[in-house]
Amino acid sequence: MTGWIGDERAQLAAEKILDAAAGLFVERGVGSVGMGEIAAAAGCSRATLYRYFADRGQLHVAFVHREAVRVGEEVAAEVRAAGVVDPAEAVTLAVLGAVRRVRESPALAAWFRQEEAATSAGVAQSSAVIEALGLSIVPDPLAARWLVRVVLSLLTVPGRDEAEERAMVERFVAPAVLGATQVRPA
């Protein structure tokens, strides 16, 4: 029983650290925030922070993974709720839904400021993020990796407006995905 409580406490502590990091990312930018600042914002020592996250890169991956899981679950639920039967429309809704959710979240939008592009691209290609977001749309790991790149592209170099982004996804992305793999029902 003690191990289970300890695991729950560890999870809560890690979540508190990631929440503190989110606030700092919004305020100062992802690359400008040091581990000491995150520890202070979370109300823990640097030693405690490093017990949960070995370095800043690991913290970044954990943060983005947590948010990608959340976004992936929300997007899958949205596609299911829409009752979409057309696979191309399902891919379109999923990609555009992921882009919209990232843009609506200040903590995630902070990752797509111009000065954060390199950090975001590296973290987004981690296997944990691919599994959390890309594989929630398609079952094929290579197609999932490509879809995450599409989402990143729309976030870093947006279309002129939502209509143009939708047109690009409908015309180029959905047919390519459907031609390459079987889409998993949402």
**Confidence tier at 51 by pLDDT (50, 70, 90):** very high
Q: Reply yes or no on whether the pLDDT at 91 is more than 50.
A: yes
Percent of the chain past pLDDT 70, that is, above it, reads 91
pLDDT of residue 121: 75
Q: Reply yes or no on whether the pLDDT at 3 is more than 50.
A: no
Q: Reply yes or no on whether the pLDDT at 186 is more than 70.
A: no
- Residue identified by tokens 């977001």 is 133
CA 170, 173, 175 angle in degrees (round to 5)? 75
State the average pLDDT for the chain.
Answer: 88
Q: Which has more confidence, 184 or 119? A: 119
pLDDT of residue 127: 66
pLDDT digits (tens, 9 = 90+) for 129-164: 776 778 778 888 888 888 888 998 999 899 999 999
In angstroms, the CA 177 to CA 128 distance is 21
The 3-state secondary structure of 65-105 reads HHHHHHHHHHHHHHHHHHCCCCHHHHHHHHHHHHHHHHHHC
Over range 11-29, report the average pLDDT: 96
**Confidence tier at 6 by pLDDT (50, 70, 90):** low
| Torsion sign across C-alpha atoms 93, 95, 101, 103 | negative
**Confidence tier at 124 by pLDDT (50, 70, 90):** confident
Q: Reply yes or no on whether the pLDDT at 2 is more than 60.
A: no
In angstroms, the CA 91 to CA 28 distance is 34
Over range 101-108, report the average pLDDT: 94
In angstroms, the CA 97 to CA 41 distance is 31
Q: What is residue 53's three-state secondary structure?
A: coil
pLDDT of residue 1: 32
Of 163, 170, 160, 139, the C-alpha closest to 150 is 170
**Confidence tier at 4 by pLDDT (50, 70, 90):** very low
pLDDT of residue 138: 82
CATH 1.10.10.60 fits 1-54, yes or no: yes
